[in-house]
């Protein structure tokens, strides 16, 4: 199963995913995807694979990405080898864009939507210091709905990080249990 983690800017996805990943580090049921991003490593945020636009385009052209998209002036990619893990029954956890969810639905998919109140998100965006006030306002105004018909679980990140991580862990453990149900997981379908 692919667990697609989505949520608006400032919802705290990176913090909660890092905490959940640390808690489940030795749990072979899960694969944690490291995204390729056309952003330098020193730019902050999640631990990603920094890649140039030219190398990203070459890798995409060679079939190196199962999913890819552009957002905020950057290109993002999820490696194609996730298909092997999904076929083996592992839960693949990836931070995705809502825009790529219809394409991600070719895999057994659960969407884990992480949310937070607007005031909390605004404070978090200001604290991370990557955007100016106009960019923060634009990010807060951009609220995209999820495509209909998806299997969605929502986690509110409106408390301390430990509470948020506990909520994500509970959701991931439910996904792992559901993935093991007979007939639930099947090999990745060709795109």
The position carrying tokens 């998100």 is: 121
* C-alpha separations of 96 from 59, 76, 99 in Å: 18, 9, 8
The predicted structure's pLDDT at residue 136: 82
For residue 4, pLDDT over 90 is answered with: yes
CB-CB contact of 146 with 105 (8 Å): no
Per the document, the length of the chain is 191
What are the tens digits of pLDDT across the range 137-181? 887 877 778 888 999 999 999 999 999 999 999 999 999 998 877
What are the tens digits of pLDDT across the range 47-98? 777 899 999 999 999 999 999 999 878 999 999 999 999 999 999 999 999 9
Maximum Cα interatomic distance, the chain, rounded to a whole number of Å: 50
The predicted structure's pLDDT at residue 145: 81
- Spans of all domains in the chain: 2-33+83-179
Q: For the domain bounded by 2-33+83-179, which CATH number is listed?
A: 3.40.50.300
* C-alpha separations of 80 from 104, 135, 155, 177 in Å: 12, 32, 27, 24
188 pLDDT tier (thresholds 50, 70, 90): very low
The predicted structure's pLDDT at residue 156: 94
């Amino acid at each position: 199963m692919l667990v697609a983690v989505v949520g608006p800017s400032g919802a705290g996805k990176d913090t909660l995913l890092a905490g959940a990943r640390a808690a489940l580090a030795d749990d072979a049921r899960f694969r944690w995807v490291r995204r390729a991003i056309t952003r330098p490593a020193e730019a902050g945020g999640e631990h990603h694979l920094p890649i140039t636009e030219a190398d990203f385009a070459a890798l995409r052209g060679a079939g190196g990405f199962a999913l890819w998209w552009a957002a905020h002036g950057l290109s993002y990619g999820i490696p194609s080898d996730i298909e092997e893990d999904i076929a083996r029954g592992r839960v693949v956890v990836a931070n995705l864009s809502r825009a790529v969810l219809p394409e991600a639905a070719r895999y057994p998919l659960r969407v884990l939507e992480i949310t937070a109140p607007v005031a909390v998100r605004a404070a978090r965006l200001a604290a991370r210091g990557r955007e100016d006030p106009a960019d923060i306002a634009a990010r807060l105004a951009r609220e995209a709905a999820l495509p209909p018909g998806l299997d969605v679980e929502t986690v509110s990140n409106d408390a301390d990080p430990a509470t948020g991580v506990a909520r994500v862990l509970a959701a991931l453990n439910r996904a792992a249990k559901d993935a093991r149900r007979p007939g639930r997981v099947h090999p990745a379908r060709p795109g």
